């Protein structure tokens, strides 16, 4: 049996995975005063509190090729799952690490998956890879099938109360940024096919936003399979949404988790991301 490992960057909001070797490669959140490494040691709530009080500039940085390479360890087959290449250099760094690793070890293989998404859609991809590995699928077969799964069978929608950090760091178009800072409004949007933020609707109040989320998920082909919700300090909204989705799809497999550092920084307090399966 060839040794296998899954490596995802920290935008996946995952620290561990049951049943198969897994490593998270941290991105960083940077201010003039300090640097937050988005790993298991990060106190996410503490970081958010510090950032709320901090008035200066803040930004983020993706892992380097060396960071990815270090995470590969010493295994024969590696799957990398990276945040959208349209908004981050993480995927490109993983591709460089792949080239170096395969050059160094000609009998080893690395498969890099550009999620064209963030947060819980990466989790769905990671879980699907694990499922196929455990079912005994060949490496090449998984590489092919996971790209199909990502492209045709998963999606991401989100609800944001603020686009401040996304706009300040040039990660949304000026047009989308105009939706930011409007008091009491929530922006509901989705990850576009190109892996960028696509604003869909501005909603007044959280209840409306949650109803809009449920409706757009249906419009995008969600039929209540696996659903992964990641919230940025908004467990009540995540639980309300879970109940609403259960009404529609009683058998849906729904899990709620908290955003780690990178997604908390960009989704901001109150934000929520939902990765879903579609047909």
CB nearer ligand X90, residue 110 or residue 191? 191
Choice between 65 and 119, CB closer to ligand X90: 119
Question: In angstroms, rounded to a whole number, what is the distance separating the alpha carbons of residues 30 and 8?
Answer: 20
Q: How far is the CB of 273 from ligand X90 (least distance, A)?
A: 5
Q: How far is the CB of 258 from ligand X90 (least distance, A)?
A: 14
Taking the complex as a whole, the smallest distance from the CB of residue 121 to ligand X90 amounts, in Å, to 8
Distance CA 250, CA 241 (A): 13
Q: Which is nearer to ligand X90, 54 or 131 (CB)?
A: 54
* Smaller CB separation from ligand X90, 118 or 238: 118
Q: Residue 59 gets which letter from DSSP?
A: E
Q: Which two tokens stand for residue 178?
A: 């105009």
Minimum distance from CB of 55 to ligand X90 (Å)? 21
In the complex, least distance from residue 70 CB atom to ligand X90, rounded to whole angstroms = 18
Closest by alpha carbon to 14, among 25, 3, 5, 4? 25
Residue whose CB is less far from ligand X90, 4 or 232? 232
* 51, 45 Cβ separation under 8 angstroms: no
What contacts 24+ positions apart, CB below 8 Å, involve 242-247? 244/210, 244/211, 244/214, 245/214, 245/217
Task: Report residue 9 as tokens.
Answer: 């960057």
Instruction: Give CA–CA dist 218/225, Å, rounded.
Output: 12
What is the tally of helices (H) and strands (E) in the chain? 10, 13
CB of 5 to ligand X90, least distance (A): 22
Which residue reads 């399979």 in tokens?
Answer: 225
Dihedral in degrees, nearest 10, Cα atoms 13, 15, 17, 22? 110
Nearer to ligand X90, 62 or 180 (CB): 62
Q: Measured from the CB atom, is 23 or 60 closer to ligand X90? A: 60
Q: How far is the CB of 210 from ligand X90 (least distance, A)?
A: 16
Q: Which residues sit at the interface with ligand X90, rule CB under 6 A?
A: 27, 60-62, 83-84, 87-90, 117-119, 156, 158, 171, 191, 195-197, 263, 266-267, 273
Pick from 85, 166, 155, 79: nearest CA to 120: 155
């Amino acid at each position: 049996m060839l040794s296998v490992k899954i490596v995802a960057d920290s935008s996946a909001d995952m620290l561990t995975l049951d049943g198969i070797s897994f490593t998270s490669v941290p991105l960083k959140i940077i201010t003039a005063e300090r640097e937050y490494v988005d790993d298991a040691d990060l106190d996410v709530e503490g970081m958010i509190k510090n950032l709320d009080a901090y008035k200066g500039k803040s930004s983020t940085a993706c892992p380097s090729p060396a960071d990815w390479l270090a995470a590969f360890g010493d295994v024969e087959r590696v799957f990398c799952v990276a945040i959208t290449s349209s908004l981050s250099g993480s995927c490109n760094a993983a591709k460089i690490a792949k080239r170096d690793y395969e050059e160094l070890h000609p009998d080893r293989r690395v498969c890099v998956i550009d999620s064209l998404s963030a947060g819980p859609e990466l989790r769905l991809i990671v879980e699907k890879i694990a499922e196929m590995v455990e079912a005994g699928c060949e490496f090449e077969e998984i590489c092919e099938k996971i790209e199909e799964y990502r492209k045709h069978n998963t999606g991401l929608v989100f609800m944001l109360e603020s686009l401040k950090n996304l706009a300040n760091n040039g990660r949304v178009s000026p047009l989308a940024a105009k939706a930011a800072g409007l008091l009491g409004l929530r922006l509901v949007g989705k990850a576009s096919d190109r892996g960028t933020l696509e604003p869909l609707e501005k909603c007044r109040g959280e209840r409306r936003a949650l109803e809009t989320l449920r409706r757009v998920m249906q419009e995008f082909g969600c039929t209540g399979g696996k659903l992964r919700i990641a919230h940025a300090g908004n467990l009540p909204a995540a639980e309300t949404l879970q109940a609403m989705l259960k009404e529609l799809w009683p058998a849906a497999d729904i899990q709620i988790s908290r955003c780690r550092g990178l997604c908390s920084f960009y989704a901001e307090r109150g934000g929520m991301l939902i990765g879903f399966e579609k047909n």
